[in-house]
Amino acid sequence: MITAQVLPTPIGSLSLLTREGVLVAAGFTADPTEMFARLTPALQSEGLEAVDDLGAPAEAVRAYFEGDLDALDAVPVSQPGSATRKRLHEALREVRAGTTVSYAQLAEAAGLPRTAARAAGSACAQNLIAPFVPCHRVLPSTGGYGGYYYGVPVKEWLLAHENPQKLS
């Protein structure tokens, strides 16, 4: 069974979905079924149940928004993808709060050539576990914020929260 909790945050509701204590989806939506629909058919077949408290993942979210910017790092996550995509998602989790990388730098951090920036962008676009897998910390080398599944204003807010001196 997939269990879900919706938490209020300063930038809107955040839905968390877990399976056996491991986060399988998270996103800035008040409707966890939106995240559930993005899961694999195998996970969807387990069903979805709303709960009042997911425990550690919910505590990590509260701590993160209260200023403990490393709180999300300890929460175990799992999402589908090719070996390359999994390496890119793992490399994303190594990008520390308050810092950003380019898509080419993310590719390099995952052991790929810098020319794999498109693959890095695709991994960010397909990320099911925001902000725990912090694709908001990846910016285009050409400047600006690039895209973000939940909207550029959410990306900008998260970056400012993590590094208020740089972006305020």
CA atoms within 13 A on the CB side of 37: 5
Residue with more model confidence, 75 or 166 = 75
Per annotation, catalytic residue among 135, 138, 158, 159: 135
124 is catalytic: no
The answer on pLDDT for 81 being more than 60 is: yes
- Convert the pLDDT of each residue in 36-69 to its tens digit: 999 999 999 999 999 999 999 999 999 999 999 9
CA–CA gap between residue 154 and residue 71 (Å, rounded): 19
Residue 139 DSSP SS3: strand
For residue 158, which phi and psi values (nearest 5 degrees)?
Answer: -60, -45
Structure tokens at 124: 């960010």
In terms of Cα–Cα distance, which of 65, 71, 13, 20 is closest to 46? 20
Sign of the alpha-carbon torsion through 91, 5, 70, 168: positive
pLDDT of residue 168 exceeding 60, the answer is: no
- pLDDT digits 0-9 by tens, 96-115: 999 999 999 999 999 999 99
What tokens appear for 105 in the block?
A: 């730098």
